[in-house]
Amino acid sequence: MRSLIRFAVALIMLGVFASAAALVAFQALILRELPDLRSLDDYRPNLITRAYSIEGQVIGEFFRERREIVPIERVPSHVVHAFVAAEDDAFYEHQGLDYASILRAAWANLRARGIRQGGSTITQQVAKTFLLSSERTLLRKIKDMVLAKRIEDHLDKNEILYLYLNQIYLGSGAYGIEAAAQTYYAKSVDELSIGEAALIAGLVPAPSRYTPFQNLEAAKRRQRFVLRRLFEEGYITTEQRLQAFEEPWVLAEREIEELRESSAYFAEEVRRYLVERFGADEVLTGGLQVWTTLQAEHQQAAYEAVRQGLRAHDRRRGYRGPIRAVPRDEWPELLAELTETNGAGPWDDGARVRALVVEVDQKEERARLMLGDGQETVLGIEDVSWARRPDPDVDGLGPRGQIRHIRTALKPGYLVELEKVGDAVVSVEGGEPETVPRFDLHQEPLAEGALLSMKIPSGHVPAMVGGYSFRRSQFNRVVQSRRQPGSAFKPIIYATALNNGYTPATIVYDTPIVYEDLETGARWKPENYEEQFYGPITLREALARSRNIATIKILRGVGVRPLIRTARALGIRSPLEPDLSLALGSSEVTLAELLRAYATFPAGGRLVDPVFILEILDREGRLLEKDVSLFATELNVPEAPEPTERAPRSERERALAQIREAIEPEENLPPPGGRGGDRPRDGVSDDRPTPRGRAGGNRLASQAAQAACRGKDRHHQRPV
């Protein structure tokens, strides 16, 4: 008997020690590693950074998680009930743990010999989402159970729902109930119907699998499940359940809206600046509010102008041919493919579809094309009149003739791209008039273009287009592309001349000239566009007629270095080659630089920076920056140095470099404006511009050669 008592005492002591050890282990492994609940009080989720037009329309969104914070008071009761009924029907009764659900999940997992159900309450999901990882282990499960109890003691039910509904992922990139409502129905959460709320609540277990954009039938099954649970819990009546079930499905269109598409380059420039200034993490998670200078009407007009101009230019160059020629035995397979890719219509104006040419009527000059099985359209000669064969000798700037026969462009078996340009009313014999879509032969332009608009004197940029299509190329040709400005650079040369003693009435000479290197024989003979010469003309007329030769002689008179100083004063920062070819706009500049330079003239000589951001606010509405220049994104980019002496890359360039050496001393000459009888110093010819209209125009051409050579016999300038 005593031995039995001793055994019982030992057993009890062992149990006490085991319990103590278990408590110590629990304290060490679980309680000490639990995070602090105070982090829930300072809820700062990842938010969307938005860029707005001046009218308040969204032109761009930058985010890591697409989330909109909504107060729990704004969430309708039927939306809350949908989540509670589907995820945690005892939410309002339990204190963080639903033991019945835990046992039910344990039994299901035991039968399945694996983890199939979690039995988690909404409070446990909050604990897992905010404070723990998503790993599926027993230790993590114990931790979220402990945390759930603590959360229930720390927060009330509405505060828990606020965290849950704003944080949860609901598929298609939407985090939180407000973002999900916007994503799936293009409306706010307080506008959701019972059926719409049921669909969103049904996404929780597997958002990527149940999203209606990817799996409509699965989404419908989940919606029916949630409606049934709402009915079983007494949140809705039978009539409401049937009404919600029969409610038509109207999902939000996922296409980019017109303004977003037209302002894509503008929005990308905003993003580039924000990332450079605040860092990618703050931009993608900080919820910044960026108010820009973009005006929607101006931006859309600019976008269409660029696209239409490039299309017209491309058509003037001719038709490059079909996508491919399809053998007749492959037509059935292709038509089935077109049926799927083109859809059944109706198509919006501007929509593009592919079509197969199946018949060409040479007598009627008509072609019949199939857009798919049972869908066809007809093109006439007037619809393809521009589609002549490309001519490499034509630059696309001027008008060209039209084709006379439709077979020049279309033949049976051609797979071509069409663009919807409107609708037409067709009268059918013995029937009612029918409206049918009208299509035009389409060809994607190869050339690119850009447009930048700025208001004076504010400098606000209402429109910026960096190319034909942001989807095709994200390279912004307004600020990232340097191109030769050509004659657009001439006003800067004439401004330099006016600043150095010239007047609009100064006589300049539009006469032929040749620069030649006597050592190599390299020659540079600049020409006017029409290959005509006007002789002595005023400075005003030389600018108005954009005379190349006269401009070169003006530049030679004022000097290259003064011109570069003027260009720098006007805001041009790109490297400029210090030679006479600047008169023809040979050095590359950006469109933004050229616009800033031009803006100085209507601004009365004041340098105006293009401003594209009005204000940047943080998530609390505090002002961070204002009036940001379009050139601010270049702050961390070192300015390109001026070109140094180097070996010319070609004979022509070598000749220009030697000519530059000959003419640079002229910068030290006194500005024009002396007496008419004065001879230029060192025998410089009066073929240079003469100030204040005093021509001296009968000087010998040999004096022009002396001006260029300045005593250096290895190169000269001579008239032709």
User: For this structure, is 629 an active site residue?
Assistant: no
- Residue pair 188/68 in contact (Cβ under 8 Å)? The answer is no
Best CA proximity match to 189, nearest among 217, 172, 212, 170: 170
d(CA 20, CA 9): 16
d(CA 379, CA 418): 10
Backbone φ and ψ for 440, nearest 5 degrees, come out as -130, 150
Best CA proximity match to 502, nearest among 447, 573, 559, 463: 559
DSSP notation for 418-447: EEEEEEEEEPPTTS--EEEEEEEE------
d(CA 136, CA 538): 86
Backbone φ and ψ for 257, nearest 5 degrees, come out as -70, 165
- Strand 414-426 and strand 324-325: pairing? antiparallel
- Strand 514-517 and strand 324-325: pairing? unpaired
User: For this structure, is 87 an active site residue?
Assistant: yes
Give the position of tokens 């029969």: 246
- Residue pair 319/441 in contact (Cβ under 8 Å)? The answer is yes
Which tokens in the block code for residue 339?
């049926």
| Choice among 87, 178, 196, 577 that is catalytic | 87
| Choice among 469, 481, 487, 546 that is catalytic | 487
d(CA 84, CA 95): 15
Which tokens in the block code for residue 293?
């200078």
CA distances from 35 to 32, 159, 164, 341, 344 (A): 8, 19, 18, 52, 56
List, in order, residues 6 or more apart from 259 with CB less than 8 Å away: 53, 57, 59, 296, 299, 300
Question: What's the DSSP call for residue 690?
Answer: B
d(CA 499, CA 485): 22
Give the distance from CA 399 to its chain's centroid.
33
With H, G, I as helix, E, B as strand and everything else as coil, classify residue 711.
coil
* CA terminus-to-terminus distance, the chain: 136
- Residues annotated catalytic, as ranges: 87, 487
